[in-house]
Amino acid sequence: MKVSIIPEKCIACGLCQTYSNRFDYHDDGIVKFADSDLLEQTVPDSDKDTLLAVKSCPTKALTI
């Protein structure tokens, strides 16, 4: 599955990193991928932690 980040929607609540170590934060608290500065990443369909993180984002800053 392809996961995208929409930084403008992020409110730095921290849920995504709580659910999945795939996510980290810039110095200003806005979400990013832990291993990349790209805004899109393909992750295995079996990665349930990332799926939960995306579904839990209150502002929909993470999308599939």
Give the N- to C-terminal CA distance of the chain in Å, as an integer.
Answer: 7
pLDDT tens for residues 5-55? Answer: 999 999 999 999 999 999 999 999 999 999 999 999 999 999 999 999 999
Q: What pLDDT is attached to residue 54?
A: 97
Is 0.85 topped by the overall pTM? yes
CATH match of 2-63 with 3.40.50.11540: no
Domain ranges of the chain: 2-63
Which residue is it, tokens 């599939």?
Answer: 64
